[in-house]
Amino acid sequence: MSILIRGGTVLSSTGSVTADVVVDGETITAVVAPGSWPGNADTVVDATGKYVLPGGIDGHTHMEMPFGGTFSADTFETGTTAAAWGGTTTIVDFAVQAKGSSLLSTLDKWHEKADGNCAIDYGFHMIVSDVNDGTLKEMDACVDAGVNTFKMFMAYPGVFYSTDGEILLAMQRARANGGTIMMHAENGIAIDQLVAQALAAGRTDPVQHGLTRPPELEGEATHRAIQLAKVTGAPLYIVHLSAAQALEAVAEARNDGQNVFAETCPQYLFLSIEDLARPDFEGAKFVASPPLREKSHQGALWQGLRTNDLSVVSTDHCPFCFVEQKDLGRGDFSKIPNGMPGVEHRMDLIYQGVVGGELTLQRWVEVTSTTPARMFGLYPRKGVIAPGSDADIVVYDPNARQTLSASTHHMNVDYSAYEGMELTGRVDTVLSRGRVVVDGAGWHGGKGHGKFLARELNQYLN
Ligand code: DUC
Ligand code: ZN
Ligand code: ZN
Ligand code: ZN
């Protein structure tokens, strides 16, 4: 099966060129001058007036994630299908070590959930929440299995939380085995006191979730994680960075040449604590950690994306239905499951940064695809349109208009965090390893097409 994508503007992280892209089977075989391909193709996709870019890579999703007595609402099937609709052709999801479980049994469990169910390719990070001798040894086996990124939590005491000493030990191990530590950097010990005080004072609304997790406590934890990384020599990747204070700490470390990287998420660029303060419990739709911040942080985050102090945009997709799930926290904001839906609209939302002059086209591709490919050891198989790479390709119509809504999205959740938001630009056609999964006629993908990706090491280390 061969496909010719004709007449489009092919984008990369370094430039753009009008070219035809030839796909044979699962692979890109040629990128040639327009009209110059002599061969026949089984299928021709007309990309005239459109961009042709490498499929998006969402390095931070939570499908079927256990949280607060429930599970995030997207399965690997529904979540990867929604991702594909939005031009994301790879996810890296988080396997979650429960206290008392081993890392390898956790990995098995996540393979059971995902294998045979994904519509696009997928890899795993490992959440380490029980640091002990066995866990530390198993980190090496995870690296060998292509799961070489380990998320730890300075938040959520009693659940996922690790002490500074435990973080230090895991960092030493990562330093030795080539892994990268990913950090949820919020000072959970201090936050828990603020939460208890709010509840004791009868302040129970969703906005309290934001008020009890101030940006200073993200800045502090980010700084602390960076110092621990410096002492141990481990590479560090700050996940879901939301606050200017945290960005400052990352920038300082990067200026010093440390292997410190960070991602932000669309919700921190487009939404704010004002959404958390919506009346009638509607703010619960926006409860995620770190919380949505004051709008004043957004400019700093866009700037960080330009300077590369923020080098990746991921979603932290972790959807919980408003009815039934977010409801668990009526009368007590601390019981609202933490997380927001977003995997479907990352490419579109960050494209608004191009429309608005915040980012170049090349930077859009870089932060949504090429850098995550390199950061998570998938390049050049993913993250670039070049001969030999997987044919994960998005044809994007830069002039189409769309309105985001739960009534039209494909995520398995009953609300959109961006309900009614009008966007310029829209996915036209999506290929996942050479298979047209989305086009104007609809969905042609299916569960089981997506394959597990054993990942190489981070390609950015000094
Ligand atoms: N933050 C969330 O909002 N949800 C899942 C885990 C996390 O760190
Ligand atoms: Zn987190
Ligand atoms: Zn997360
Ligand atoms: Zn079709």
Return mean pLDDT, the chain.
98
Range of the domain at 62: 55-376
> What is the average pLDDT across 290-303?
98
Mean pLDDT across 7-24: 98
Residue from 314, 316, 334 whose mutation best tests the ligand 1 pocket (most atoms within 8 A of CB) = 316
Q: How many whole angstroms from 184 Cα to the centroid of ligand 2? A: 5
User: What is the pLDDT confidence band of residue 1, given thresholds at 50, 70 and 90?
Assistant: confident
Number of domains forming the structure of the chain = 1
Tell me the mean pLDDT in the region 283-289: 98
- Residue 43, in any domain of the structure: no
pLDDT score, position 380: 98
On the question of pLDDT at 462 being above 80, the answer is no
ipTM: 0.90
Residue 338 alpha carbon to ligand 1 centre in Å = 5
Q: Classify residue 458: in a domain, yes or no.
A: no
Find out whether the beta carbon of 409 lies less than 6 Å from any atom of ligand 1: no
- How far from 274 is each of 210, 270, 278, 414, 453, CA to CA, in Å? 10, 11, 7, 21, 39
Take atom 8 of ligand 1 and give the residue whose Cα is closest. 289
| Residues in contact with 154: Cβ distance below 8 Å, sequence separation at least 6, in sequence order | 161, 162, 167, 183, 184, 185, 186, 187, 188, 221, 224, 225
Q: 56-102: per-residue pLDDT in tens?
A: 999 999 999 999 999 999 999 999 999 999 999 999 999 999 999 99
Going by pLDDT thresholds of 50, 70 and 90, the confidence category of residue 322 is very high
Q: How far is the CA of 51 from the centre of ligand 2 (A)?
A: 33
Q: How far is the CA of 317 from the centre of ligand 1 (A)?
A: 9
Nearest CA to ligand 1 atom 1: 289
Residue 270 lies in a domain: yes
62 lines ligand 1 (CB under 6 A): yes
pTM: 0.98
Q: Supply the residue whose CA is at minimum distance from atom 4 of ligand 1.
A: 339
Which is the closest atom of ligand 1 to the Cα of 339?
3
Phi and psi at residue 304, to the nearest 5°: -60, -35
Question: How much is the pLDDT for 386?
Answer: 98
pLDDT value at position 36? 97
338 Cβ closer than 6 Å to some ligand 1 atom: yes
Q: Say if 426 falls within a structural domain.
A: no
Q: What is the CATH number of the domain that holds 69?
A: 3.20.20.140
Give 93's strand partners. 61, 124
Residue 393 lies in a domain: no
Instruction: Examine the pLDDT at 37 and tell me if it is beyond 80.
Output: yes
Strands across the sheet containing 312-313: 56-61, 88-96, 121-127, 149-153, 180-184, 236-238, 260-264, 312-313
Q: Cα(2) to centroid of ligand 1, in Å?
A: 41
pLDDT (0 to 100) of residue 267: 99
Which residue type occupies 437?
Answer: V
SS (H, E, C) the chain: CEEEEEEEEEECCCCEEEEEEEEECCEEEEEECCCCCCCCCCEEEECCCCEEEECEEEEEECCCCEECCEECCCCHHHHHHHHHHCCEEEEEEEEECCCCCCHHHHHHHHHHHHCCCCCCEEEEEEECCCCCHHHHHHHHHHHHCCCCEEEEECCCCCCCECCHHHHHHHHHHHHHHCCEEEEECCCHHHHHHHHHHHHHCCCCCCHHHHHCCCHHHHHHHHHHHHHHHHHHCCCEEECCCCCHHHHHHHHHHHHCCCCEEEEECHHHHHCCHHHHCCCCCHHHHHCCCCCCCCCHHHHHHHHHHHHCCCCEECCCECCCCCCCCHHHHCCCHHHCCCCECCCCCHHHHHHHHHHCCCCCHHHHHHHHHHHHHHHCCCCCCCCCCCCCCECCEEEEEEEEEEECCCCCCCCCCCCCCCCCCEEEEEEEEEEECCEEEEECCEECCCCCCCCECCCCCCCCCC
pLDDT at 30 over 90: yes
Domain annotation covers residue 402: no
Say how many Å lie between the CA of residue 74 and the centre of ligand 3.
14
| CA gap 128, 139 in Å, rounded | 9
pLDDT digits (tens, 9 = 90+) for 120-167: 999 999 999 999 999 999 999 999 999 999 999 999 999 999 999 999
What's residue 39's pLDDT?
87
Residue 20 lies in a domain: no
Q: Is 288 near ligand 1, meaning CB less than 6 Å away?
A: yes
Q: In this structure, which ligand is nearest to the CA of 237?
A: 2
Verify whether ligand 1 is closer than 6 Å to residue 342 (CB atom). no
CA of 319 to the centre of ligand 1 (A): 10
Determine, yes or no, domain membership for 238.
yes
